Amino acid sequence: MKRTRPESDTCQVDGAGLRLSPALLRGLTQPRLSEMLKMNRRGFLSATGAAIGLAAFGLPEMAQAAAWSKMSMAQWMDWWKQQKPTKELVFANWPLYIDVTKAGAHPTLEMFTKETGIAVKYLEPIQSNPEFFAKIAPLLKSGEATGYDLAVMTNDAYQFTEVLQQHWAIPLWREKLPNVWKYASPSILNPVYDPHNTYSTVWQSGFTGIGYNPKLTKREITSVADLWDPAFKGHVGMFKNPTQYGDFGLLKLGIDPAKATPADWEAAAEELLAQRKAGLVRQYYDQSYIKALESGDTWISMAWSGDIYQANTQGYKDLKFIIPKEGAMYWHDNMFIPIGAKNPLSALEWMNFYYTPKIAGLVEDYVNYVCPVPAAQAYIRDVIKDPAVADSDLVFPDEAMMAKARNYYVFKSYAEFQHYLRIFNPVVM
């Protein structure tokens, strides 16, 4: 399925004074669009200091994985310096998440190959973080190669945290990434889930908010609290993933999800249970929430803006998307190098190549997410001649927009994540 890019359709998106065209709305999308498409849309020294010959990945897999997990940063740098350049790169990404021509070519990847001589095998195996993690985790745990040199995962799911906490990603060789440190937005450097960008760099970012039909709600929607309005009884849609609806429960209480405590989780769960017991929620949805909005079964729902945009272009022009006054959840899709990668230097080459105004601009003008390279804005406006994307606060957020961005909680362990689930799972059971 190829991504279409309608230029003339219009839609309304309100939030803190913003009114956005579809071109602007394209800038506020997120990876769950890929999940929708499925349904319709990361020799050296050992930890003890002795030399171990792993340059050719020669240890038995379990011993190799254990050795990797104990390596210090200095040992990783020794490892990096022993790596030899290759002319291959296997890149795993989400569907429809890079520039592509009608013929199926990827111009930026072709530019990369022309400049570096590195041939890219570009794959789109990632339909959801849990599914992809389930595929690669057994390999990473056993020390086997995943088959990918570079992969993209989202920080709003525990799975990416697990990859980092288990040391299943190779620490980046920072000296090989000058463009990242030169051009990256300050908002994506030193993220709480990966301090100092030890293991990852951002590919794209985006937000989660509320979709609604004003003809049915009979008023404008401005707040997360509107999902609890008795006037919408039986017509409220909520996501069924506990990390998603849990954060909205926290936002309703005025709590920053990134700083929430177990006591806060309990309070948010009570709010969500009260919402359910009052009969407000029609259903806890996966991707089917958009069909419920389109049909009028729900009047207001948690939503991903890209879905609302697609609905607008397909004739459902009454649907709107807003960023609630309490804020929107701000997620990041992250490039990382799995342990066992056969071409790690090639992965670094691509990361550095991507973080330039031209290349990031070319990708951004196609995917229209939140761009990690602010300087790409001028390239999109002046060279590509696409001011609608270049001038979107949702592609290149200003300070006011970023003030409404809310980060996800970083679970300290799997046990803590399980505790979170024990609190929030009863909401939908």
How many CB atoms lie under 10 A from the CB of residue 164?
21
C-alpha span between 125 and 194 (Å, rounded): 24
- Identify whether residues 99 and 243 lie together within a single domain: no
- For the chain, the residue count is 429
Domain count, the chain: 2
Whether the per-residue pLDDT at 356 is higher than 60: the answer is: yes
How many CB atoms lie under 10 A from the CB of residue 339?
25
- Identify whether residues 274 and 164 lie together within a single domain: no
Among all chains, which residue has been given the structure tokens 């948010």?
A: 268
Of the candidates 328, 347, 369, which is a domain's last residue?
A: 328
In a domain, 395, yes or no: yes
In a domain, 313, yes or no: yes
Give a three-class secondary structure readout of the chain: CCCCCCCCCCCCEEECCEECCHHHHCCCCCCHHHHHHHHCCCCEECCCCCEECCCCCCCCHHHHHHHHHCCCHHHHHHHHHHCCCCCEEEEECCCCCCCCCCCCCCHHHHHHHHHHCCEEEEECCCCCHHHHHHHHHHHHHHCCCCCCCEEEEECCCHHHHHHHHCCCECCCCHHHCHHHHHHCCHHHCCCCCCHHHCCEEEEEEEEEEEEECHHHHCCCCCCHHHHHCHHHCCCEEEECCHHHHHHHHHHHCCCCHHHCCHHHHHHHHHHHHHHHHCCCEEEEECCCHHHHHHHCCCCEEEECHHHHHHHHHCCCCCCEEECCCCCEEEEEEEEECECCCCCHHHHHHHHHHHCCHHHHHHHHHHHCCECCCCCHHHHHHHHHCCHHHHCCCCCCCCHHHHCCEECCCCCCCHHHHHHHHHHHHHHCC
For the segment 199-237, what is each residue's pLDDT rounded down to a tens digit? 999 999 988 889 999 999 999 999 999 999 999 999 999
CATH number at residue 236: 3.40.190.10
pLDDT of residue 313: 66
- Identify whether residues 335 and 322 lie together within a single domain: no
Of the candidates 328, 359, 384, which is a domain's last residue?
A: 328
- Identify whether residues 319 and 348 lie together within a single domain: no
For the segment 285-319, what is each residue's pLDDT rounded down to a tens digit? 987 899 999 999 999 999 877 677 667 767 899 99
pLDDT of residue 3: 29
DSSP bridge pairs for 300 = 212, 236
Non-local CB neighbours of 427 within 8 Å, separated by 6+ positions:
242, 245, 269, 272, 273, 276, 284
Whether the per-residue pLDDT at 45 is higher than 80: the answer is: no
- Identify whether residues 217 and 311 lie together within a single domain: yes
- Identify whether residues 244 and 351 lie together within a single domain: no
- Identify whether residues 229 and 283 lie together within a single domain: yes
Residues 235-250 have a mean pLDDT of: 94
Of the candidates 281, 308, 328, which is a domain's last residue?
A: 328
- Identify whether residues 126 and 232 lie together within a single domain: no
Whether the per-residue pLDDT at 324 is higher than 90: the answer is: yes
C-alpha span between 258 and 299 (Å, rounded): 29
CA angle 197, 200, 202 (to 5 degrees): 95
In a domain, 102, yes or no: yes
In a domain, 10, yes or no: no
For the segment 124-171, what is each residue's pLDDT rounded down to a tens digit? 999 888 899 999 999 999 989 999 999 999 998 789 999 999 999 999
- Identify whether residues 90 and 130 lie together within a single domain: yes
- Identify whether residues 213 and 137 lie together within a single domain: no
For the segment 247-269, what is each residue's pLDDT rounded down to a tens digit? 999 999 999 999 999 999 999 99
For the segment 21-44, what is each residue's pLDDT rounded down to a tens digit? 333 333 343 433 333 333 333 232
In a domain, 8, yes or no: no
Residue 130: give the domain boundaries: 76-205+331-406
pLDDT of residue 165: 92
In a domain, 7, yes or no: no
In a domain, 167, yes or no: yes
Among all chains, which residue has been given the structure tokens 């349904």?
A: 39
- Identify whether residues 151 and 197 lie together within a single domain: yes
In a domain, 58, yes or no: no
Mean pLDDT of the chain: 85
- Identify whether residues 251 and 270 lie together within a single domain: yes
